[in-house]
Amino acid sequence: MEAAGAGVAPIRAQYLSSKEQFHAYLKAERESRNQENNQDDGEEDPSSNDQTEPPAKQMKLDGGDQVRKQGSQEEVLKEEDKKPQERKRARGQNKSRPCMKPKHYEKDRLCQSVIQECAEKCYFGSQCRFLHDVGEYMAVKPSDLGDSCILFKTFGKCIYGVTCRFARAHLGEDYRNIINGDLVKQWEGKPLVRNSLSKELQQRLRKKKVCFDKSSEYLSHLGKPSSAGNAGNKATGNSTEEKGMTNCTASKGNAEGLDVLPPGEEAPECLTVSEKGEASESMVLQSSCLANASKDSTLKTIGPVTDEDVIKLRLCEKKRLDIQGKLYLAPLTTCGNLPFRRICKRFGADVTCGEMAVCTNLLQGQSSEWALLKRHYTEDLFGVQLEGAFPDTMTRCAELLNQTIEMDFVDINVGCPIDLVYKKGGGCALMNRSNKFEQIVRGMNSVLDVPLTVKIRTGVQEKVNLAHKVIPNIRKWGASMVTLHGRSREQRYTKDADWEYIAECAKLASPMPLFGNGDILSYEDANRAMQTGVSGIMIARGALIKPWIFTEVKEQRHWDISSNERFDILKDFTNYGLEHWGSDTQGVEKTRKFMLEWLSFLCRYIPAGLLEYLPQKINERPPYYMGRDYLETLMASQNVDDWIKISEMLLGPVPTNFTFLPKHKANSYR
């Protein structure tokens, strides 16, 4: 055991341990628990991996642990071979980490027509490559993970039928799906998740048959020279008074929510998306509606008739973003998924934002990218974050989202430090490309009906701050709010966030709100941040390490949360994940994947009762220590295999040949 050094969290001496003692204790406890589970014939323990499997699968599962351990050891050896003799701190991403695809989970999959109990309607007929014999599928299907299906229990129906890994809770005779009619009626007409991508819109995006009238009008002015003395705004097109622009190139008098197509184009060939409706399914106008609209010039409307279709809203008339003093959960790539945001909302997060979405992928109709925009009905203040490097794609994407999804604001990511984004001119690179940056902000602002916000860093290079120069321009360009992360791109997450500099920038931003971000892991950190004069705080890694930080800040206390309470949080995440990604094998494994990514941050939390003094600092690395019980010790493990064990306690045994490495190298230390 070594004394706590610089950068190491101060843990009470009686809890400190060596690496060898720590892993020996976990191994002994695990073996002891496995023996107890093997002796217990009558009861099933949720943390046990000894589940009855089909004979064909049993041998593979028995050898799965050994294969997985060998695979993880090989990965470690490869990483160690690449390291120089002097050990350096791991940084960046595990770009070559293994990727588990759906075919790895189950080779024999059941046809969707059979799952929905309408096998006679299979589109592919005899050429379908999926199974149609339920008995054959059940013979090779992995065993169920439990007796209670969260989908059936909550909504009265599990849409995954026999493929559900909790199917025995809702299967009747001949593998028929049981439905609880009363529960189904309760949820009828209540969309739980909004902002889904419809098949029709996806097809039109892929065929490039979606019109962007407002964007085209703005972009048409980019190449035109402006009068002397207005060089900074030569490519802006920022107001109707200056440029004589309207919201679209359509003729005046068209109905609200409908943009008339340019002359010579037929309505079915080019879709102009409508204003946001009550249900996500009805957000995109059908071709037939457009065709009828072109024939009938006197459309019947319901509600007040406005002139928003012909007169552009002024900045002062736009919806304001009133989040002064609220707790803002940062948009977090990979880990900031919808189930995690639900966890944070439950603990008191006021504002949530979807993961960073690449505008070009959204314009191409990629389902995986549109999934990042989904919004749960409990997210009352929700925004989406876009990344892009050019005004044309960013402006078109903003117009598309403005008319197809429900959101309270749009955020531009000008803080992303990763090379893939930076080298293409996006993320932090925009801070050095002021002309493109201005065109993007003004263009998006001109097509959006909701507030536009910007997230930036202090700069690109470590000792060259740029934010104080950029922020006044962002305010002038029309953004409603700016969020400043107190580190440069070169720093990434090393060293402390510069809150003194954030305080200076907050004064420059006034009257535009500025939110500060960086190194907030306790209510004391939050209080110090608010004293700098910022309008509010954004919490990122602090929420990943301890999502109950929002409760601590609001109640102004340190929460010595128990291991059982933390495990209950993981149970809730599991249920939310099964609701969101599905309760079939693919959904279970996707839930496991995102849980493991989150566990790579959760293991950094040190229980308040174990610290010599409070609070824990975000950049202090936890040493090896023994928790107050086995579960607390297991949750403190920095070993990938122990994270997998925790996931198996909730989601059953991992598939054969399963491997996992966290996205960030700094999270995969052992």
Residue 477 to residue 214: CA distance in whole angstroms:
18
Residue 540 to residue 517: CA distance in whole angstroms:
8
Which distant-in-sequence residues (6+ apart) come within 8 Å of 309 by Cβ?
Answer: 247, 248, 250, 254, 255, 256, 257, 258, 259
Helix/strand/coil (H/E/C) assignment for every residue in 185-212: HHHCCCCCEECCCCHHHHHHHHCCCECC
Question: Is 649 within 8 Å of 33 (Cβ atoms)?
Answer: no
Set 111, 149, 416, 428: catalytic member: 416
Q: Which two tokens stand for residue 255?
A: 């109905």
Residue 294 to residue 263: CA distance in whole angstroms:
11
The 8 Å CB, 24+ separation contacts for 223-229 are: none
Peptide bond into 46 cis (omega under 30): no
Phi first, then psi, for residue 453 (nearest 5°) are -120, 165
Question: Is 61 within 8 Å of 656 (Cβ atoms)?
Answer: yes
Residue 52 to residue 72: CA distance in whole angstroms:
26
CA 428 to chain centre: 20
Q: Which two tokens stand for residue 538?
A: 């954004």
- Scanning 83-177, the segments in alpha helix (DSSP H) are 102-105, 112-115, 134-140, 150-155
User: Of 376, 335, 407, which Cα lies nearest the Cα of 576?
Assistant: 376
Instruction: Return the sign of the alpha-carbon dihedral for residues 322, 324, 326, 330.
Output: positive
The three-class DSSP label of residue 309 is coil
* Residue entry with tokens 């566990």: 599
Residue 112 to residue 116: CA distance in whole angstroms:
6
Residue 653 to residue 144: CA distance in whole angstroms:
11
Residue 244 to residue 590: CA distance in whole angstroms:
51
User: Of 77, 84, 86, 76, which Cα lies nearest the Cα of 669?
Assistant: 76
* Residue entry with tokens 């002021």: 434
Question: Is 212 within 8 Å of 261 (Cβ atoms)?
Answer: no
359 given a catalytic annotation: no
Enumerate the active-site residues. 416
